[in-house]
Structure 1
Amino acid sequence: MSVLKISSVSKYFPGGTKAVDSFSLDVADGELVCLLGPSGSGKSTLLRMVGGFEDPSSGLITIDGEDITHLPPERRPTGMVFQSHALWTHMNVFDNLAFGLKLRRTGKSEIREKVEAVLDLVGLAGYGERKTHQLSGGQQQRVALARSLVLEPKILLLDEPFASLDQHLRERLREEVRDIQQRLKITTLFVTHGQDEALSMADRIVVMRDGRTEQIDRPDVVYRNPQTPFVAGFIGTMNLIDGEVAHGRFHRAGLSLDLPISDGPAILAMRPEALDLSLADQGQAVVHRVTDYGTHGLVDLDLPEAIRVKAMVDHPDRFSTGQSVNLAPRAVAAFRDGRQVFRS
């Protein structure tokens, strides 16, 4: 059993900058939790505090009930994989993986057995004698992952490990890492600013902003039921329109639709895939651009008051720039005072 518990952890940098603000999170045994947020949200700083590379200003971090808050990295049951790989270029692959085991005074035969097993696990069997500079970026990242796994950590920490790779390689590696994580049932904390990585890999997503938690939930819930305007706008593509509600109807930029909340200002949220379009002589919007992605199309629409929204369509060939259309949302959400107040 490997359970990570972060309790009211904060981090202040010189000058009073608050990178993490009273953050709490429990990561269950075998769970993969993703910290997702823009640059400066505090996610990497938090991960480094769990790994022992930054010291918290306050709060408590425990693994299986043991306080590790101020332990150095080498004394923690954690393994960290960095974005930069951080491999020793003067060593071959085998020696990179064996280094930590040698520090633990592991026997030679056991070292070879463990290293060969983990190389096989990450798909690099037979690569032990290669120099790291002879490897591709994806292979180097696999070695970095193997170097952490060979030490059999209780908690695996991944700090944007795919950020420097091209899209196709990122997609393949994240599938492989998820498969390895599930096979080993290793508790994992993963940092990324990539929505696709978070949605495809995580058991739960923690959306962070300014060092605080905006929402913690399963990927499907975070996408379909965002609790704040920030989460709604950060996860996927969302049309957000500021307007007014009067007598149970939302009004703005030629849009008027039922919204059963009290009168006052509100932010209307609509996903492009939940927005139906129909051609009209005097419609609510004008087609600005049509982009055909093969599997679907994305139509950019101009509303009055210089507001632009997007709609996803199955047949982009039916629409062209300058056409007038009406909008019919199949599902909407509404926000007020920074929180969700309605969802259909």
Structure 2
Amino acid sequence: MATLETRNLGRRFGPTRAVDDVSLTVGDGELLCLLGPSGSGKSTVLRMLGGFEQPSAGAVLIDGDDVTRLAPERRPTGMVFQSHALWTHMNVFANVAFGLKLRRLPRAEVRRRTEAALDMVGLAGLGARRPTQLSGGQQQRVALARSLVLEPKILLLDEPFASLDQHLRERLREEVREIQRRAGITMVFVTHGQDEALALADRIAVLREGRLEQVDRPEVVYRQPRTEFVAGFIGRMNLIDARVEGGRLLAAGMALPAALAEGPARLALRPEDLGLVAATDESGARVLRVTDFGAHLAIELETVDGRRLKATAEPGAGWTAGMRAALRPRRFAVYRDGHLCPMPAQRAGDLPVSLQTLVAGQPAAGTGRLAPHHHQH
């Protein structure tokens, strides 16, 4: 196992800053996912870790040693690329053993380590086959074994499952996680798939335009996004223009307790945190569409001011298109200037109320307890 660190890492291509001031630490045996949209700089960061790209600024350290200027073959790293890059004129065994033969290891040692690597990735007994005789998933496992056989301290994976179908991606990411645990190897995994990152990672580093937006455990990135970008990028999120007045956040026909200075803001509300109660008048949001996914209902709504929102409900909840629903958020976040606004913990009685009820002077009422927000920006 090994530790990995980047210090103020940067990479320019002419006037373009592909990576800007990225500082990361990856612990022994940790699996870190670099996540971001296309062009966010995640693959460039990975290539600099592996020595395939030279930084314009900053440093890369492995176990405390500066490897910034070392060539890829002199680093204790292995790289698995998006393309399998297997030699079709060689069989599977020869593809995996190639790097060991370059090191002029004894034949018995080459055979032992190659067979062990193939066994680890679930390809024992397939060494005599050609890559063209394998499925896409099996070819990706060969590429993984080819890196693992060299016993790197750190394994780097650049969107290795991008060309595979969803079912195979899900199966292989589970296998990679199991391999990582059994081998005890430190991994950095690049992906633009949020589900992949949430399922695989010990921590997630979200990049945007070459800069780090947030580095945290998956559940923290999902539940407490530090920036509006992360909130909108990770999972599904309702992002709504809002305004704070008199200690209440007014948005889409809702009034939510918010101990913030008055002014414009953005309300972030996940579909699973948006509770619905059947409304008896036209003030409620109109249900446009209900999709049954088996485990839950996905509901699309239109508010009285024309905003489109998404919510979820339990199967059999009875929602159908055309019904009216009062909105009862159970958890929400507020952003200003793109950053999370810290708010004090809500009291048990501080429940969301409908804007119409608040204006009418009725006592606050609601159905869900708000979760506290302690995260500081």
Query: What range is the shorter-chain TM-score in?
Result: over 0.9
Measured in 2, the distance between the counterparts of 1:316 and 1:298 equals 12
The residue number in structure 1 matching 2:136 is 137
1:283 Cα deviation from its structure 2 partner:
3.3
Q: How does 1:1-344 map to 2 (within 5 A)?
A: 1-14=1-14, 16-280=15-279, 281-315=281-315, 318-342=318-342, 344=372
What is the Cα deviation at residue 282 of structure 1? 2.2
SS in 1 for 2:54: coil
Q: Secondary structure at the match of 1:198?
A: helix
Cα deviation, 1:132-164, whole Å, max 9, x if unaligned, reads: 011000000000000000000011001011111
Q: What TM-score, normalized to structure 2?
A: 0.89
Task: Note the aligned Cα RMSD (angstroms).
Answer: 1.2
Aligned-residue sequence identity (percent) comes to 63
Hey, which bits of structure 1, 4+ residues long, moved more than 4 A? none
Which deviations, in whole Å up to 9, do the C-alpha atoms of 1:10-52 show, x marking residues without a partner?
00013x1110001010101110000000001000010011111
1:316 CA drift (Å)? 5.4
Amino acid at match of 1:11: R
The aligned length equals: 343
Residue 342 of structure 1 and its aligned partner are, at CA, apart by 3.8
Please state whether the residue corresponding to 2:19 is helix, strand or coil: strand
| Partner-residue secondary structure (3-state), 1:197 | helix
User: Which amino acid is 1:315 matched to?
Assistant: P
Deviation of residue 258 (structure 1)?
Answer: 1.8
TM-score computed with the length of structure 1 as normaliser:
0.97
Deviations 1:273-298 (A, max 9, x none): 11111111223311111111011011
| 1:257 alignment partner, SS class | strand
Whole-angstrom distance in 1 between the partners of 2:242 and 2:86: 53
Gaps of at least 5 residues in structure 2 are: 344-371, 373-377
Alpha-carbon distance in structure 1 between the residues aligned to 2:320 and 2:25: 50
Which whole-Å deviations, capped at 9, do the CAs of 1:223-277 have from their partners, x for residues lacking one?
A: 1111111111111111111111011111233222222211111111111111111
The residue matched to 2:32 in structure 1 has which SS? strand
Q: Is the 8 A contact 1:299 1:316 kept in 2?
A: no
- Larger mean CA deviation between 92-101 and 308-317 belongs to 308-317
Q: Which of the pair is proportionally richer in strand?
A: 1
1:304 Cα deviation after fit: 3.5
| Distance in 1, Cα, partners of 2:285 & 2:227 | 27
The equivalent residue for 2:368 is none
CA contact under 8 A between 2:34 and 2:206: conserved in structure 1? yes
CA distance in 1, matches of 2:22, 2:342: 27
Aligned AA (2:21) = S
Alpha-carbon separation, structure 1, partners of 2:322 and 2:341: 35
* Structure 1 position 317, deviation (Å): 5.8
How far apart are the structure 2 equivalents of 1:304 and 1:253?
8
* C-alpha distance in 1 between matches for 2:275 and 2:252: 17
Give 1:112 shift.
Answer: 0.4
Q: CA deviation at 1:210?
A: 0.6
Give the whole-Å Cα distance in 1 for the aligned partners of 2:28 and 2:328. Answer: 44
Query: Aligned partners of 1:253, 1:149: CA distance in 2, in Å?
Result: 53
**Matched AA of 1:324:** R
For residues 86-106 of structure 1, the C-alpha deviation after alignment (integer angstroms, 9 at most, x for no partner) is 111111111111110011111
Q: SS in structure 2 opposite 1:318?
A: coil
The Cα of 1:328 is off from its aligned counterpart by: 0.2
Paired with 2:284 and 2:148, the residues of 1 have a C-alpha distance of: 56
Q: CA deviation digits over 1:54-87, x for unaligned, max 9? A: 1111110011122111211111111011111111
- Contact 1:100–1:151, Cα closer than 8 Å, also in 2: yes
The answer to whether the 8 A contact 1:335-1:342 is kept is no
Q: Which is greater in Rg?
A: 2
